[in-house]
Amino acid sequence: MRVLLRFVSTARRIQRDMSQSALPRISFLGMGLMGRAMARRLLEARFPVTVWNRTLAAATPLAAEGATVVAEAAEAVRGCDVLCTMLFDDAAYEQTVMGGALDALGAGALHVACGTISVRLSERLTVEHARRGQQYVAAPVFGRPNVAAEGRLWIVAAGEAAAVERARPVLAAMSRGLSIAGSEPAQAHAVKLAGNFMINLMIEAMSEAVVFAEARGIDAATMLETVNAALFQSPFYAAYARLLLNRPDPPGATLGLGLKDVTLFLDAAESAGVRPEVARVVAERLRAAAEAGLGSADWAAGMLTAAREAAKTGWERKA
């Protein structure tokens, strides 16, 4: 609690100090549900923000809220002080950032990479930014779009100390707390992948427990509430239990994203010389569910559907 209170106090001081001087010009690439919510927090904090999205229609609503909307990523990046990216996956970063935005970013500018990407790509970005005389901070976020809209994301950052301090006012405007993972940017993305792996395990455990409870004639909501009250006492556990049993529309995160992240976790683990066997089992379950048509389903509700189907037919072992 003391850490969180210190962060809130620091964030307020930063915002006060920043209001007394010129605010950095921010370019934000990626206006999906998360990116739009995060960009809105920056606009509310009075940062000058230019936004871009591959599908322009997703970005245009922010014009009415004070953002400058442009049609090309390189145009958005040119002349900015801080580039924030919240793109879907490695391929999107390759196409957008490596494919032109990086060259348009000026020497001395700062890139804050908020998306969930591979450790390998984060390491490449470190090299490419250094070669261009730019700063780079990895700052992936924990939280769904509704959490981002409320400014309650938790951000894990890593990079050179001066770059992290430069990024701090921007990160403070979008979050309730910040953890520093280390001086190498890829360390932050490694923490994010580990965290998402743990979420996958939590959802899988709850899903199979629900299937068990239902088979015994027990109300699933009562079972999950009882276990959380007795053992975990976790708002996060309670929130995912609600998502599990009440399928959100639209999904805040999809089962396909869960598969992407556990695959990246396994790749990063292999490159570090470790073999997390449970992660392989979870990846197989998610892959079978995606192949059965659940890839676009909500992450939690989709995994419950997969657990129910597997309990009846064992289809994930046949995939």
Active site residues: 192
**How far does CA 148 lie from the centroid of its chain?**
10
Asked whether the beta carbons of 134 and 105 are under 8 A apart, the reply is: yes
Asked whether the beta carbons of 135 and 109 are under 8 A apart, the reply is: yes
Dihedral sign, Cα of residue 101, residue 183, residue 268, residue 266:
negative
- Residue 164 tokens, joined: 């992290």
Asked whether the beta carbons of 110 and 82 are under 8 A apart, the reply is: yes
What separation in angstroms does the CA of 230 have from each of 116, 202, 227, 233? 33, 16, 5, 7
CA distance 141 to 92: 17
